[in-house]
Amino acid sequence: MGRKFFVGGNWKCNGTIEEVKKIVTTLNEAEVPSEDVVEVVVSPPYVFLSMVKSLLRNDFSIAAQNCWVRKGGAFTGEVSAEMLVNLGIPWVILGHSERRLLLNESNEIVGDKTAYALSQGLNVIACVGETFEQRESGSTLAVVAAQTKAIAERLSIWSNIVLAYEPVWAIGTGKVATPSQAQDVHSELRKWLHDNIGAEVAASTRIIYGGSVNGANCKELAAQPDVDGFLVGGASLKPVKVPAIIDYPAPISSVK
């Protein structure tokens, strides 16, 4: 099975009603390749999910940025996977490094959240990635493998999960990974999937890159054989620039 190019926009904890409407209007007016060629998913904060759902073009999809680890109930402040399903939100981002590091989400919690969200019918963008110190000490592959393993050992079906490699040192810093740094980790992750899960899952699972992606650096990254798309942070809040990122796969091939 081929891997359709995937472009996600993670708006993080940003935006007002007016700003969100402006972003959606710009995205709605953008000329981009068809959804057969590239899958586009935007991820607004919870409070804007319904509004974005009602305004966004229907060839683009929507992700929440987190959800509760199990069935909802007496968990003040949390939003459950069932609620997202009920709202018609098909995707959720889990394990983003900002949650792992600032909110102490462990590999196990991220694995449990991923398994629960998938069991409720959500699609998951599961994030992994090393810190600068971990890269400097040579433990990048061990870190991303341990993060992936904690997810993998809780799943049996891989068709509804996209893995996002987001090196922490590249997020919001302007220090994008070089194409070869990204390709090295993506190909190791694919090899890990091959050796630990199976050849078919390794060949069909999309591994996307996140960390200071913009219209100028996306082409070289996307040309890497194991880079199947992006999770874009800051640049996704400037949607005039987004079509350049979404547009990338069109001239080459849509499916790897």
Ligand X SMILES: O=C(CO)COP(=O)(O)O
Question: Residues in the site for ligand X, rule: CB under 6 A?
Answer: 10, 96, 166, 171-172, 210-213, 231-235
Q: Strand, helix or coil at 219?
A: helix
Q: Which residues contact 160 (CB under 8 A, 6 or more apart)?
A: 118, 122, 123, 124
Q: In the complex, which residue's CB is closest to ligand X?
A: 233
> Rounded to the nearest whole angstrom, what is the least distance from the CB of residue 123 to ligand X in the complex?
16
> Rounded to the nearest whole angstrom, what is the least distance from the CB of residue 216 to ligand X in the complex?
13
Question: In this complex, which beta carbon is closest to ligand X, that of residue 147 or of residue 201?
Answer: 147
Q: Strand, helix or coil at 200?
A: helix
Q: Which two tokens stand for residue 163?
A: 């893995």
> Rounded to the nearest whole angstrom, what is the least distance from the CB of residue 168 to ligand X in the complex?
9
Question: In this complex, which beta carbon is closest to ligand X, that of residue 66 or of residue 212?
Answer: 212
64: β partners = 92
How far, in Å, CA of 207 to CA of 185, rounded?
Answer: 10
Q: 166 an active-site residue?
A: yes
How far, in Å, CA of 225 to CA of 8, rounded?
Answer: 19
Catalytic residue among 39, 96, 98, 105: 96
Catalytic residue among 98, 105, 130, 166: 166
Q: 96 an active-site residue?
A: yes
Q: 120: burial class by Cβ within 10 Å (0-12, 13-18, 19+)?
A: middle
Question: In this complex, which beta carbon is closest to ligand X, that of residue 72 or of residue 172?
Answer: 172
Question: In this complex, which beta carbon is closest to ligand X, that of residue 117 or of residue 213?
Answer: 213
42: β partners = 9, 62
> Rounded to the nearest whole angstrom, what is the least distance from the CB of residue 45 to ligand X in the complex?
13
Active-site residues: which are they? 96, 166
